[in-house]
Amino acid sequence: MNWLTRRLGCSGRGRLRLLESLRGQLAPAGNHESLQTGLGHSELCRFAQQYRLHEIATAIPHRGDVEDLMVIAWFGSAIADLGCYDSGEKRDRILQEGALFNLAVALFDTVMDEMPAHRDQLKLSVNIPLIRGRLWNPLNPDTRLTSRDPAITHIAALFDALFVSLGSRVEGNSRGRELSEIISLFSAMYNGGSNGERDPFRTKVLPVLFLGRLNYSFRNYVLMEDFYCQLGKFIQLYDDWLDMARDALQGKPNYFLNHWTHTTLLDKPLFYLSFGVRLLGGSLFHRHTTRTVTRAMNDAIEASRFADPLAYQRNLSLCSKFVLS
């Protein structure tokens, strides 16, 4: 596996070159690593205790230990924080919702990919009609998301906390429109993640858009939505670069190994043909990968620069975390 990741540029010199390229693009903007974005360490510790991340790590070990789960939660809170001008309790709730969403979706995907025996129970416990009912009636105990399956109970509880918070926080004349948009976005993600499809747009970009929709306090909605799209594309490419070897071995769609989405009989052979060519080419393809990921990060940074000054500063801080990871 180590040889394969090096050959594909996911580790070794190929990895170092790509990270150096990203650092080089961030350097002119100055040091933003110390800028507070997302939940702080003490807040994450409280989050871990409140939502029993230790029990989740035991029940669903495929996602790592408690610290790994806390990192996933933090990234969700950080993306939700990018254009957030709110402060105090409202901001705290938005960041917690971002953390809940990112962790719940990650665990949902893990069960769908790695724990087939639990898939049916997951779909019974977390589905669009139940989520719609919980979002619109967050105080009704009859709409609570739960499960008989101990492993799925934790995921249902995270989604339940998310939609209770959202449903009770969003209010006023725009409540109907905002909740409808939230359901629409979540439905697109759910339908792409629970029926075997692996559309990169659905699996990477839509979750980032969802996190952006958790708050409406940013100044320019159209430009911010474009920024979230660009950020989602960067995260997609970054993840596909890191996961290239694993995706190749498991036959999962990956941007760098062809866009295989099970639509035609030729998709699977083309996927493995692309993998074979890239494997034979080795370092010849590393430069292309570096350019592609670096360009995507630049596009996200430029989009945030045009969209909002606060989002720009926080996005630089977020991108620096990718470079240091």
Q: Max alpha carbon distance in the chain (Å)?
A: 59
Q: Is the pLDDT of residue 195 over 90?
A: no
Helix (H) or strand (E) holding 15: helix 12-26
For the ranges 116-120, 272-276, 310-314, the lowest mean pLDDT is seen at 272-276
Region 56-61: what's the mean pLDDT? 94
pLDDT attached to residue 196 = 46
Interatomic CA distance for residues 194 and 197, integer angstroms: 8
Region 299-313: what's the mean pLDDT? 90
What are the phi and psi torsion angles at 202 (to 5°)? -70, -40
Tell me the H-state helices in 137-261. 150-169, 175-193, 200, 206-212, 221-242, 244-250
Threshold 0.85, pTM exceeds:
yes
- What residues contact 190, with CB distance under 8 A and at least 6 apart? 127, 128
pLDDT attached to residue 29 = 67
Structure tokens at 63: 């996602």
Q: Is the pLDDT of residue 204 over 80?
A: no
Q: Is the pLDDT of residue 197 over 60?
A: no
Q: How confident is the model at residue 151 (pLDDT cuts 50, 70, 90)?
A: confident
Q: What is the DSSP string of 277-302?
A: HHHHHGGGGHHHHHHHHHHHHHHHHH
Region 189-205: what's the mean pLDDT? 63
Region 239-267: what's the mean pLDDT? 73
Region 297-310: what's the mean pLDDT? 91
Q: What share of the chain is helix, strand, coil (3-state, %, to 5)?
A: 75, 0, 25
- What residues contact 261, with CB distance under 8 A and at least 6 apart? 197, 198, 199, 253, 267
Alpha carbon 91 to its chain's center:
20
